[in-house]
Amino acid sequence: MSNISSLAFVHPEAIIGKDAIVEPFAYIDRNVEIGEGTVVMSNSTILSGARIGKNCTIFPHATISAIPQDLKFKGEDSMAVIGDRTSIRECVTVNRGTASRGSTVVGNDCLLMAYSHVAHDCVLKDFVILGNATQLAGEVEIDDFAILSGGTLVHQFTRIGAHTMIQGGSKVPKDVPPYTMVGREPLTYVGLNVVGLRRRSFSGEQINSIQEIYRYLYQAGYNITQALERIENELPDTPERNHIIAFIKNSSRGVVRGNMEG
């Protein structure tokens, strides 16, 4: 049985999973689905189009699936999808999608800290952390295990690679390649996210291989095209190498600069 407070508003068409908890003064709209074991705390607001997974926690004053802050939005049906075991802290806002993609998606095991904002049509994969007051513009994509420290501002359409770490207070106008740390003003590559990679059981050999790839890209004096050509021709064929090459080749905004570039 779900534990729904009599002081909460839950639309009769909303679907609330087994063992979910809805605390007093929460608001749950029509066309909402909430998975088993999820806790919706007091004064949180879950609006039409929300699909929330199992064993999540929605903290007070969070708002999930409000309409996009996008003047092109014309009231079309869309969703905000939250995966399993994700924690959405106080005053977080996750807007639903537009006709562009149809859904805003936050993956499994994510942590969205207080006052962070996820705009329309963003896609966050699994184990992503958004620090306090981090703000994502529309259609941002963030890959697994990325960490955006507090107060980060991300431009629309930007892509952030897996296992990255972004310095707090950063403005992110370009794509951030996987496995890297970026910071400073303007934003630049400052090294590998070595601590994060070790925590996720990357071997020393893998880390050294990734380091060599980024030496070609950012420290050997090549432009991006030259660096990619030499990486493909001179460095071992590994999953990490191929992931980095594919990410950069598919970057429409271009990737962040290196700290040795003028």
Active site residue 191: no
One-letter amino acid of 112:
L
Active site residue 120: yes
Q: What are phi and psi of 28, to 5 degrees?
A: -125, 120
Place of tokens 């936050």: 106
Q: What is the DSSP string of 119-165?
A: -TT-EE-TT-EE-TT-EE-TT-EE-TT-EE-TT-EE-TT-EE-TT-E
Catalytic pick from 121, 143, 144, 175? Answer: 121
Catalytic pick from 138, 161, 183, 196? Answer: 138
Cα separation, 68 vs 75, in Å, equals 9
Catalytic pick from 117, 120, 163, 243? Answer: 120
DSSP designation for 191: E
DSSP designation for 196: H
Q: Which amino acids are annotated catalytic?
A: 120-121, 138
